[in-house]
Amino acid sequence: MPVQSEWRWVEWARRLQALAQVGLEYSENEYDTERYTAVRAVASEILAAGSDVDPQRIRGLLDAQTGYATPKVDVRGAVIRSDSILLVRERQDGGWCLPGGWADTGETPSEAAAREVWEESGFRVRPVRLIAVWDRTLHGHVPPHPFRIYKLFFLCALLGGEAKPSRETSEAGFFREDALPPLSLGRTTPSQISRIFEHHRNPGMPADFD
């Protein structure tokens, strides 16, 4: 699935940012450092011109990236009970999504998924199967993100708990596949939820990727 044409400017900015970041990590003289710093500035200008985010904030975000440039990792826990899936409502945009977020250093991907579900919904779960590793850029998420993101989806068994709000989520609930609430499309899409239900109904399906 190709990158959406209206987002190509984001992909160009990402590539420039990655080139600049790697160049700054390995450059051995001040002239190369100046050039790669200028390339990073161009990437920042492209992202700022195509969004309503403060240019200084974008520049600070890019400047904070060091070392070899790699994709970021987002984990999501899929919990299905009585043919309904657990979703949480994001305070940031009011939309609903699968509980999840950035994986933390020091924990495995499945541990990160279980932690995110607990923190955002109030339910304890046990990840039982990796069902998808999807590139966020290729799966209809809006708006675009300045960094490339790999999203890992785990089908989880429900162990206990009760719905509770959190710092990032205002409520949690279970929804049928044919009665989904408005989704936070930057985090979860309808096609992803449909695919999760397919995996739930067909335990032998191999994990999706890309």
Domain extent listing, the chain? 5-63, 72-209
| Burial status of residue 99 (CB atoms within 10 A of its CB: 0-12, 13-18, 19 or more) | buried
The answer to whether 3 touches 11, Cβ cutoff 8 Å, is yes
pLDDT at 55: 85
pLDDT at 123: 98
Distance CA 91, CA 120 (A): 11
The answer to whether 154 touches 192, Cβ cutoff 8 Å, is no
Q: Looking at this protein, which amino acid is placed at residue 201?
A: R
3-state secondary structure (DSSP) of residue 144: coil
Contacts of 17 (CB under 8 A, 6+ apart): 40, 43, 44, 62, 65, 69, 146, 147
- CATH ID of 72-209, from 1.10.10.10, 1.10.3720.10, 3.40.50.720, 3.90.79.10: 3.90.79.10
Distance CA 102, CA 99 (A): 11
pLDDT in tens, the chain (210 residues): 455 666 889 999 999 999 999 999 999 999 999 999 999 999 999 999 988 888 899 999 999 999 999 999 999 999 999 999 999 999 999 999 999 999 999 999 999 999 999 999 999 999 999 999 999 999 999 999 999 999 999 999 999 999 999 999 999 999 999 999 999 999 999 999 999 999 999 999 999 999
Contacts of 132 (CB under 8 A, 6+ apart): 151, 152, 153, 192, 195, 196, 199, 207, 208, 209
3-state secondary structure (DSSP) of residue 127: strand
Distance of CA 139 to the CA centre of its chain: 11
The values of phi and psi at residue 150, to 5°, are: -100, 130
pLDDT at 50: 85
State pTM to two decimals: 0.87
Distance CA 88, CA 131 (A): 20
Pairing relationship of beta strands 84-90 and 72-81 according to DSSP bridges: antiparallel
Number of Cβ within a 10 Å radius of residue 101: 17
